[in-house]
């Protein structure tokens, strides 16, 4: 396996189990606009893409009487309410970050806005783990374009070949590969047979740890130190 210097994480579907919450937030907005049963949107087709991509298609289909930016902000408010209420960080993510941090520079590259990213990283005090955070707001194009991953690598001072991406969506895998990076895809959102473009496909976070830190054997050693490191990070973040 290639020797990497950095790990770049997607957020939705990788750090946080938010794809169902995105759908619920959209559905709440659709219902309030009168499109509860006739919105016609296929949510899985938008996994890994920005909210704007879905809204552009919705507006083209229905021509709702609202400014585009109002729609974007309306749904974002709904999502933030759901995130605060449900706190859906994947349980093994804090341990994985704590194990990886001594070995790699970590970055987050997301199709979400900075407001949503900040809400997610505040849930379990995860922000201190990441040396760089990139939002779709920082770049011109959303996935499958490679822009967010290339920006993250640049902020870390790394070349694409130094980096490996952790993704869960088809367009995210395509974006990572287009950036010239290896991609580890986790089957949180789509089945493994649809993630064939990834360098590796895994079913859980222990397998990511085993790939990137072979001596860890997937959290079986060093997990106590990782847990202590995570606890220390959380205390520092809340101080």
Classify residue 204: in a domain, yes or no. Answer: yes
Residue 197 and residue 186 share a domain: yes
- What amino acid positions are annotated as catalytic residues? 10, 12
Q: Are residues 202 and 190 in the same domain?
A: yes
- Per residue in 139-168, pLDDT tens? 989 899 999 999 999 999 999 999 999 999
Residues 46, 93, single domain; the answer is no
Checking if the pLDDT of 238 tops 50, the result is: no
> Sorting pLDDT into bands at 50, 70 and 90, what band is 104?
very high
Q: 181 vs 223, which has greater pLDDT?
A: 181
**Model pLDDT, residue 222:** 46
Q: Domain holding 111: CATH number?
A: 3.40.50.1000
One domain, residues 203 and 150 = yes
CA gap 109, 165 in Å, rounded: 9
**Cα dist from 49 to 38, 134, 142, whole Å:** 22, 14, 6
3-state helix, strand, coil in the chain (%, to 5): 55, 10, 35
Query: Distance (Å, rounded) from C-alpha 103 to C-alpha 88?
Result: 26
User: 105-109 and 6-9 as β-strands: parallel, antiparallel, unpaired?
Assistant: parallel
Same domain, 163 and 197: yes
Instruction: State the Cα–Cα distance between residues 51 and 164, nearest whole angstrom.
Output: 25
First to last CA, the chain: 39
Last residue of a domain, one of 66, 86, 106: 86
Domain that holds residue 110: 6-17+88-238
Q: What is the chain's length?
A: 239
């Amino acid at each position: 396996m290639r020797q990497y210097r950095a790990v770049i994480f997607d957020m939705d579907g990788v750090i946080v189990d938010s794809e169902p919450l995105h759908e619920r937030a959209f559905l709440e907005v659709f219902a309030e606009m009168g499109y509860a049963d006739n919105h016609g949107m296929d949510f899985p087709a938008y996994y890994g893409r920005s909210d704007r991509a879905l809204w552009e298609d919705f507006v083209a289909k229905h021509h709702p009487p609202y400014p585009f930016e109002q729609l974007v902000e309306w749904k974002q408010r709904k999502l933030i309410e759901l995130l605060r209420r449900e706190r859906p960080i994947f349980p093994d993510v804090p341990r994985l970050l704590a194990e990886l941090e001594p070995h790699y520079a970590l970055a987050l590259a997301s199709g979400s806005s900075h407001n949503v990213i900040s809400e997610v990283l505040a849930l379990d005090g995860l922000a201190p783990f990441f040396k760089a955070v990139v939002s779709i707001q920082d770049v011109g194009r959303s996935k499958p374009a490679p822009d967010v991953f290339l920006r993250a690598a640049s902020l870390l001072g790394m070349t694409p070949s130094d980096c490996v991406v952790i993704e869960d969506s088809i367009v995210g895998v395509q974006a990572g590969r287009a950036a010239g990076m290896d991609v580890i895809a986790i089957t949180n959102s789509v089945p493994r047979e649809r993630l064939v473009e990834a360098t590796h496909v895994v079913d859980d976070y222990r397998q990511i740890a085993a790939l990137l830190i072979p001596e860890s054997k997937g959290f079986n050693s060093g997990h106590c130190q990782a847990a202590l490191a995570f606890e220390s990070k959380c205390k520092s973040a809340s101080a």
